[in-house]
Amino acid sequence: MSRSGAGGPQITVMRGRVIKAGRAAGQALVSAVPIGFLGGVDPDSGIVLEPGHPLQGRSVSGKVLVFPTGKGSTVGSYTILRLARSGHAPAAIVNSQSEAIVAVGAIIADIPMVDQVDISRIQDGDWVTVEDGVITVEHRPPGQRPATTAAGDAHPGLAFGVPDTLSDPSEARSELIFLKLGGSLLTDKSRPRALRADVLRRLAGEIAEALSLRPGLRLLIGHGGGSYAHVVASQYGTRSGVSSPADWHGYAATARAASELNHIVVEALADAGLPVLPVQPSASALCRDGELRALDDRPLRAALEHGLVPVVHGDVALDEVRGGTVISTEEIFRWLAPRLHPQRVLLVGEVAGVLTVDPAYGEGGQVIPEITQQNLPELAQALGGARGTDVTGGMLAKVTQMLELLETTPVLAEVQVVSGLVPGLVRSCLADPQVRTGTRITRSVQ
With bands split at pLDDT 50, 70 and 90, how would you rate the model's confidence at 403? confident
Q: Which of 47-56, 131-140, 337-346 has the lowest mean pLDDT?
A: 131-140
Check residue 446 and give its pLDDT. 45
Long-range CB contact pairs, 51-57, < 8 A, 24+: 55/29, 55/31
Check residue 335 and give its pLDDT. 92
Report the C-alpha gap between 338 and 104 in whole angstroms.
22
* Phi, psi of 428, rounded to the nearest 5 degrees: -65, -45
Check residue 245 and give its pLDDT. 96
With bands split at pLDDT 50, 70 and 90, how would you rate the model's confidence at 141? low
Q: List where CATH 3.40.1160.10 sits in the chain.
A: 146-441
Q: List where CATH 3.50.30.10 sits in the chain.
A: 2-142
With bands split at pLDDT 50, 70 and 90, how would you rate the model's confidence at 235? very high
Q: Are 444 and 370 in contact (CB under 8 A)?
A: no
Read off the pLDDT of residues 142-153 as tens digits, 9 standing for 90 and up.
444 333 222 233
Q: 2-142: what CATH class?
A: alpha beta
The CA distances from residue 405 to 4, 7, 173, 215, 409, in Å, are 35, 34, 23, 27, 6
Q: Are 184 and 388 in contact (CB under 8 A)?
A: yes
Return the percentage of the chain with pLDDT > 70, whole number. Answer: 85
Check residue 324 and give its pLDDT. 97
Is a pLDDT exceeding 60 seen at residue 376?
yes
Is a pLDDT exceeding 50 seen at residue 90?
yes
* Phi, psi of 180, rounded to the nearest 5 degrees: -110, 130
Instruction: Write down how long the chain is.
Output: 446
Helix (H) or strand (E) holding 319: strand 315-319
With bands split at pLDDT 50, 70 and 90, how would you rate the model's confidence at 167? very low
Read off the pLDDT of residues 287-297 as tens digits, 9 standing for 90 and up.
999 999 999 99
Q: Looking at the structure, give the CATH architecture of the domain made up of residues 146-441.
A: 3-Layer(aba) Sandwich (3.40)
Residue by residue, what is the 3-state secondary structure of 9-36?
CEEEEEECEEEECCEEEEEEEECCCCEE
Taking residues 218-227, report their average pLDDT: 95
